[in-house]
Amino acid sequence: MKITRVSTTAVRLPIPPRSYASDNAGTKREWGRLSRLSPKRPSTILEYLLVRIDTDQGTAGIGEAPVDIGFFGQTLEEVQAAIDDYLGPQIVGLDPFDREYAMHRIDYRGSSCAKSGIDLALHDLMGRTLGVPVSQLIGGSHRKRIPVAIEVAGGAPADMAKACLAYMDKGVRAFKPKIGAYPQEDVERLRAIREAVGPDVSLRADANQGYTPKEAIRLCRLAEKHHVGLELLEQPVPAWDLQGMAAVRSAVDTLIEADESCYTIHDAMQIIRHGAADVLNIKIAKAGGLYGAKKIAALAEAAGLGCVLGTGFGLGVKIAAKLHLAASTMLVTDAVEFTELGLHDNLLASPGNAALALPLDDGCLPVPDGPGFGVELDEAKVAQHAGHARN
Ligand SMILES: [Mg+2]
């Protein structure tokens, strides 16, 4: 079997203006100046690329790449050109089952989103060809249902608590609010949420690089003092400050998680060497696909760290891919982050469109059990959102 074509479709989906803002968290106001390191989203449109790999046997696999310049730092046009003009042509003519070699061929510096789209399409193609779920290709399955965590946008404490309760009505039992501005205000956000959701709900927090090391230590100490039950604090300091993150980690009991610091296997190794985190946040698009994600999980396991699968948004194919990754990776912490469920519809055909969406059944999404990722795109929905101009 040989790959004959790698092609992409750009998809742009609008989200409600306030649904993923962090205006009152992660943002500092100093002498009238607003400062915010990440994420800085320029618009309320989320952009994606669907990636299709065709073969000379008439079979095809589908992957997808998020773009999101506010987080990943690349435009849709850059990622699309990388796949269409540079990475895709490198794997045409290869056997899709020679995945390690294919990924080696396109292992240029950066372009993690482009690589992840191709990697997912290769996995879907292999699974479909063999008639097995992708989870069986990457370690099998130790669970059929995956608990879901949702990130909650920053805002006033009462509003954030209300947002969590609205999600709880849809079956969600784990949350990761966005904080990262001023520790005293942020701990009030966490207290309001804990009071609203009760003691049994998983509560993580993401500072999105917003603190200095001393602010992060203060936030953790306040959270510990007020018993908010904070499971972990994600990316308290800027991505490049591994020494600062290590200082935070050694000063507090709260688990510290690396997100923006952890893209590649080499990033993961540096975090381990610096003792900078207790937990690694693995996102398929940061790691360049399931191929890189599995390697990072192995590094974490070797170093005695934990892993969380984070949100990188998704149209449905990547939601399914994350479920297969979670099902096949023992080390992954129970709840997997699927914030995209609350932002926009998926583009899947039935039954995937309802199965991989809110409301949840007992706080979980099912791992699809069909060949490949076990989901199909709804081509009419894709056409409706394909190539939409910005507004
Ligand atoms: Mg994060």
Q: Which of 2, 115, 225, 283 is catalytic?
A: 283
pTM reported for the whole predicted model: 0.95
344-382 pLDDT, tens digit per residue, is 999 999 999 999 999 999 999 999 999 999 999 999 999
* 84, pLDDT greater than 80: yes
- Cβ burial of 361 (10 Å; 0-12, 13-18, 19+) is exposed
Tell how far the Cα of 97 is from the centroid of ligand 1, in angstroms.
33
Tell how far the Cα of 205 is from the centroid of ligand 1, in angstroms.
9
Q: Which residues contact 329 (CB under 8 A, 6 or more apart)?
A: 139, 294, 297, 307
Q: From residue 295, how far is each of 105, 110, 247 by CA, in Å?
A: 17, 17, 26
In the chain, % of residues over pLDDT 70: 94
Annotation says 318 is catalytic: no
Q: Which of 115, 178, 286, 318 is catalytic?
A: 178
- Residue 242 or residue 333, greater confidence: 242
pLDDT band at 16 (very low <50, low <70, confident <90, very high): confident
Tell how far the Cα of 13 is from the centroid of ligand 1, in angstroms.
21
Tell how far the Cα of 257 is from the centroid of ligand 1, in angstroms.
9
Residue at token pair 């046997």: 57
Average pLDDT, the chain: 93
DSSP 235: -
* 41, pLDDT greater than 70: no
43-70 pLDDT, tens digit per residue, is 778 899 999 999 999 999 999 999 988 8
First and final CA of the chain: distance in angstroms? 42
Tell how far the Cα of 311 is from the centroid of ligand 1, in angstroms.
8
Annotation says 178 is catalytic: yes
- Cβ burial of 159 (10 Å; 0-12, 13-18, 19+) is middle
Q: Report the interhelical angle of 213-225 vs 183-197 (nearest 10°).
A: 30
Question: Domains in the chain, ordered, with CATH?
Answer: 3-133 (3.30.390.10), 137-379 (3.20.20.120)
pLDDT at 26: 65
